[in-house]
Amino acid sequence: MSNLNSLTYFWPELILTITVLISVVADLFYRKEESYKVAWWVLGGLIFTMLAIRLGGSAVTDLFMGTIALDPFSVFFKILILIATVFVILMSFNSNELKDYRVGEYYSVLAIMAFGLFLMASAIDILMVYLAIEVVSIMSFFLAGYLKKNPHSNEASLKYVIYGAFSSGIMLYGLSILFGLTGTTKFMEMQAAIAGLSPDSNLALILSAVFILVGFGYKISAVPFHFWTPDVYEGSPTTITAYLSVAPKAAGFAILIRFFNQVFGDSSALVSESWQALNHIPWPQLMGVLAAATMTVGNLVAIQQKSVKRMLAYSSIAHAGYMMMALPLMSEAGVYGIMIYLLMYLFMNLGAFFVVIYIQGKTGGEDFEDFNGLGWKMPFVGAVMVLFMLSLTGLPPTAGFIGKFYLFAAVIKAGSQYYWLAFVGVLNSVISLYYYFRVVKHMYFKGERSETVVMPESNLVTTVLLFLAIPTFIFGWYFGPVANWVSESLVIFQGM
Amino acid sequence: MNHLLSWIIWLPVIGIVAIAFIPRDKTELIKQVSAAATGIQLALAIYLWRIFDAATGTFQFMERAEWIPSFNITYILGVDGLSLPMVILMALIGFVSVFVSWNINTAVKGYFSLFLLLNTGVMGVFLSLDFFLFYIFWEVMLLPMYFLIGMWGGPQREYAAIKFFLYTLFGSVLMLIAILALYFTCGNTFDMLVLMDTAPTALSGVLWWGMSAIKVIWVLLFIGFAIKVPVFPFHTWLPLAHVEAPTAISVILAGVLLKLGVYGMLRINYTMLPDGVFWFAGALAVLGLINVIWGAMCALAQKDLKKLVAYSSVNHMGYVLLGMAAVIAASGMNGDNLISAQAGINGAVFQMFNHGTISAMLFILVGVIYDRAHHRDIEGFGGLASQMPIYTGFVAVAFFAGLGLPGFSGFVSEFMIFIGAFPVFKTIVIISTIGILLNAAYFLWAFQRMFFGPANEKYNDLPEINKRELFTIIPLAVITLFLGIYPRPFLDMISATMNVLIEQVVSLGGLASVM
């Protein structure tokens, strides 16, 4: 579709851009103490963006001369990203870490990041892929280092920059090899060109696939590209850690699914029968091994952490691993599993991080010891934290179980050659119980059993916690509508 | 009454909702509400037994409702002669346990909410006929148990709680894989009734990594259930959890939760994988034997009375396994011995029920002495018989019931198991009778050390067992005695269903060779 016509389908992104501009200007009129009010402008903009997405319907088309796709698949991820952004902004009001800083541009940058994530979820041209990933990365560097007086935050930002630059450089190299082989930047055209390549170029193809995987793997923090994750997650403001563990991961999976199926696969459908370009190596098995390694490493290291925040950082690696199980399956059920898992993960993970933020504000720390006796002193916060921990472990009747259920179902459905992956997955769930329930142990079994009860003094905290906890619980036993929504979203742009 | 089974399952949840509105300092009211919820549940369970048609072995009072159609998940409940005794047992033990917990006074609100949630989970497992629903209820039990052990337990409670949780979760995730494998190989359904029909044929001849799919699924399910039973070598969580748990929770754990494992095997392994039964029966009998001997030997070595009772559970559940294995006697290659298959399997279910009542009694009695003396060291007592004669009398009843003295229900079920298993597993049955001897030894020896001999000066002013405690123990003692003398009402209730079960195993299994 031509550039001008495309604009009529581009309202959500346009509104988001306008939101950024307005919030930057609005920030100029606020003094430091009230700079948090920028957040209301951003929230308003996000709500209009959501409306624009809903009004856009379920069109399937390309935009801007075939660089961006508009399809229910990308819409699903955009909604996910928007929900995450809204929650993170609401959580930021209560952040203890941010209150010494001018936060106007913090909210503007979150909106820019959401814009970049939108592009990641819908890019169908490698130039756009690179552009989108860079927008997201640069905003992430900025946000990770937002606490400029805190050395850990500075370290996080610097580490992130170095890893980010390195991996996107490698990815760019892979993309350029691909361009050299095919002479085009568009996914569909690349696929057609690869089908006609002579076997001499197999090695180059495999190299480019591996290099590109480095770039995407870094975004979803897959082992062995995960080394940046714990330090960055620990040093960043906790609100940003929460955001990084959810939104870029979702967008990363979107781009991973779309790119590998449509460029290296044998059809432009949502899932291909095989990765035609990578038939010469056991690519699905390699992806399976990566998934198994990701969840195992994430879990085993999470056990040893002293800080709850760092534990959640490692556990988010493990969650990426669970979702990666579905990548080698080449089945719609697998993509479905990833999408439903991401949705469930959004609520439970943001919830867990929000409790950490709240406790940090109360006790000044985020170690396991800081949670001692919490369940007795603050029964409400304690109870929802138990719910989030249950859900992250994947126990019914919580959302996390349904997510895992769909993922494991996809793996089992794919046939007995993948059963080993399901075994690794369920054993990892058992391991994760140990460290998630360490939090519960500290909340209820350690420390003094206080007789006086403290409720959160701010209604906002209670409301946000409830909005995160209710879906985490309800989706655990009534997930029919969600499941239907996800299956309607399994439509992808397949070329003209 | 419509939806009778749903009422039985969800009554405790109504109780939880009611408790949520009661201020935390009104502890008496909270206890009364819990007693009311479990009391009505018990009344409904007895009513269910009265209107249950014992002549047919099929499922009755079925309930069916759409739940998640896109994944073929349905809310299906039903009761037959296998689940009915378990429901009655749970209702009874649940009701009794409320009174056992009457002296809990920290965080009463939390305790009884979790207690009732546990009740719902257990009832749900016994009554659900949809695999997904079954699994949800199965897992729902874990969290309340974790908290009940971890918050109201003994000195090592944190370790005991997480160990229990990890062990059982390990078992249940393997079960989840098996459930999904059954779903996808047997026609995309979680409906157990359908699976009972389709699974035996759909799975025969299917190979996974050179192994029969039946074997793989059997083993996965078996490990999941065996951890719950617990079958050696998965039993190590049990003594710890029992010793650390508060009395009422030990009562439920031994009385009902251990039955879930056996129930699962009979309900699922036996009906859906009948070929596997023939393949595994020998191993089952051997594991049963190990449980009997090992449990008895460990019990003999214990100094802590509660640990002794805990190991006696391992010992008693071994007989159940032995009785279950006897089902193959009815097949052609084992001489069409239907009578002994019936004796074995009826005995196994009867033993489950009897162990439920007897071990509940034992744990309550351990709790009684612990509340008074604040320790459970067998050697630390002596001569209690003169001090607490009524208590001693009840301990004698419980111990004799536990060691299988004729006249008590435990004798009947163990006897049935032995005559059932003897034609097929002669050697194993002969060796396992040593278990009976050891069984008598550890109970009698403990009895002698605690109640006879010179009186311990320290305990001269121990108060006698009180009325509340008597109220909890007498119903169980009466049932044990009654069924020991006249077991027919119980056996009538289950035998039609057991015949259907034997028929299912024998007609569908044992024909195709399991690779």
User: What pLDDT was estimated at residue B251?
Assistant: 92
Q: How confident is the model at residue B510 (pLDDT cuts 50, 70, 90)?
A: low
> pLDDT tens-digit profile of B391-420?
888 999 999 998 888 888 889 999 999 998
* Residue A339 in this model has a pLDDT that exceeds 90: yes
**Residue B65 in contact with partner chain A when CB distance is under 8 A:** no
> Which two three-digit tokens encode residue A276?
């035609």
**Residue B482 in contact with partner chain A when CB distance is under 8 A:** no
* Residue A167 in this model has a pLDDT that exceeds 50: yes
> pLDDT tens-digit profile of A457-468?
788 889 999 999
* Residue B124 in this model has a pLDDT that exceeds 50: yes
Query: Across chain A, which distance is largest between two alpha carbons, in Å?
Result: 75
For residues A408-424, average pLDDT: 89
DSSP notation for B16-80: HHHHHTS-TT-HHHHHHHHHHHHHHHHHHHHHHHHH--TT--S-EEEEEEEEEGGGTEEEEEEE-
Phi, psi (rounded to 5 degrees) for B67: -130, -75
User: What pLDDT was estimated at residue A496?
Assistant: 62
**Residue B106 in contact with partner chain A when CB distance is under 8 A:** yes
* Residue B1 in this model has a pLDDT that exceeds 70: no
User: What pLDDT was estimated at residue B260?
Assistant: 92
Ranges assigned E (strand) in B202-261: 207-208, 211-212
User: What pLDDT was estimated at residue B205?
Assistant: 76
Residues of chain A with Cβ-Cβ distance to B131 below 8 Å are: none
- C-beta atoms surrounding B441 within 10 Å: 15
* Cα dihedral across residues A312, B140, B197, B269: positive or negative: positive
Q: What type of residue is B419? A: I
- Tell me which of B321 and B329 has the higher pLDDT: B321
- Tell me which of B480 and B381 has the higher pLDDT: B480
* Residue B294 in this model has a pLDDT that exceeds 50: yes
Q: Do A412 and B177 touch (CB under 8 A)?
A: yes
- Tell me which of A450 and B101 has the higher pLDDT: B101
Residues of chain A with Cβ-Cβ distance to B67 below 8 Å are: 480
User: What pLDDT was estimated at residue A295?
Assistant: 93
- C-beta atoms surrounding B270 within 10 Å: 22
Contact A16, A45 (CB under 8 A): yes
Residues of chain B with Cβ-Cβ distance to A427 below 8 Å are: 170, 173
Residues of chain B with Cβ-Cβ distance to A478 below 8 Å are: 68
> Which two three-digit tokens encode residue B103?
């002296």
Q: How confident is the model at residue B515 (pLDDT cuts 50, 70, 90)?
A: very low
For residues A363-387, average pLDDT: 88
Helix axes B83-100, B27-51, angle to 10 degrees: 160
**Residue B107 in contact with partner chain A when CB distance is under 8 A:** yes
Q: Do A441 and B143 touch (CB under 8 A)?
A: no
Closest of B414, B420, B418, B362 to residue B391, by C-alpha: B362
Chain A stretch 149-178, residues whose beta carbon is closer than 8 A to a beta carbon of chain B:
none
3-state secondary structure of A2: coil
The Cα–Cα gap between B428 and B289 comes to 7
Average pLDDT, chain B: 88
For residues A96-104, average pLDDT: 85
Residues of chain B with Cβ-Cβ distance to A441 below 8 Å are: 150, 158, 162
> pLDDT tens-digit profile of B345-356?
999 999 999 999
User: What pLDDT was estimated at residue A323?
Assistant: 93
* Residue B382 in this model has a pLDDT that exceeds 60: yes
- pTM higher than 0.90 for the full model? yes
Peptide bond into A199 cis (omega under 30): no
Chain A stretch 388-417, residues whose beta carbon is closer than 8 A to a beta carbon of chain B:
390, 395-397, 401, 405, 408-409, 412-413, 416
Q: How confident is the model at residue A407 (pLDDT cuts 50, 70, 90)?
A: very high
Average pLDDT, chain A: 89
Q: Do B169 and A396 touch (CB under 8 A)?
A: no
Q: Do B158 and A422 touch (CB under 8 A)?
A: no
Name the burial class of residue B454, with classes exposed (0-12), middle (13-18) and buried (19+) by CB atoms within 10 angstroms of its CB.
exposed
User: What pLDDT was estimated at residue B405?
Assistant: 87
User: What pLDDT was estimated at residue B117?
Assistant: 94
Q: Do B147 and A423 touch (CB under 8 A)?
A: no
Q: Do B68 and A479 touch (CB under 8 A)?
A: yes
User: What pLDDT was estimated at residue A79?
Assistant: 94
Q: How confident is the model at residue A239 (pLDDT cuts 50, 70, 90)?
A: very high
Chain B stretch 164-183, residues whose beta carbon is closer than 8 A to a beta carbon of chain A:
165-166, 169-170, 173-174, 176-177, 180-181, 183
For residues A330-338, average pLDDT: 89
Element (H, E) at A69: strand A68-70
| B165, B180, B209 ranked by CB distance to A437: nearest | B165
CA distances from A268 to A194, A253, A260, A335, B86 (A): 13, 17, 10, 15, 55
| B106, B180, B209 ranked by CB distance to A409: nearest | B180
DSSP notation for A41-68: HHHHHHHHHHHHHHHTTT--EEETTTTE
> pLDDT tens-digit profile of B251-265?
999 989 999 999 999
Contact B178, B184 (CB under 8 A): no
> pLDDT tens-digit profile of B4-53?
899 999 999 999 999 999 888 888 899 999 999 999 999 999 999 999 88
Q: Which residues, other chains included, contact B241 with Cβ-Cβ below 8 Å and sequence gap of 6+?
A: B149, B160, B161, B163, B164, B253
3-state secondary structure of B229: coil
User: What pLDDT was estimated at residue B511?
Assistant: 53
Q: How confident is the model at residue B188 (pLDDT cuts 50, 70, 90)?
A: confident
Element (H, E) at B393: helix B389-402
Determine the residue of chain A that is closest to B173 in CA distance: A426
Closest of A297, A303, A335, A246 to residue A424, by C-alpha: A297
Q: How confident is the model at residue B203 (pLDDT cuts 50, 70, 90)?
A: confident
Closest of B331, B326, B281 to residue B509, by C-alpha: B331
Count of A–B CB contacts within 8 Å?
85
Residues of chain B with Cβ-Cβ distance to A437 below 8 Å are: 146, 162, 165
Cα–chain-centroid distance for residue B376?
A: 24
User: What pLDDT was estimated at residue B24?
Assistant: 82
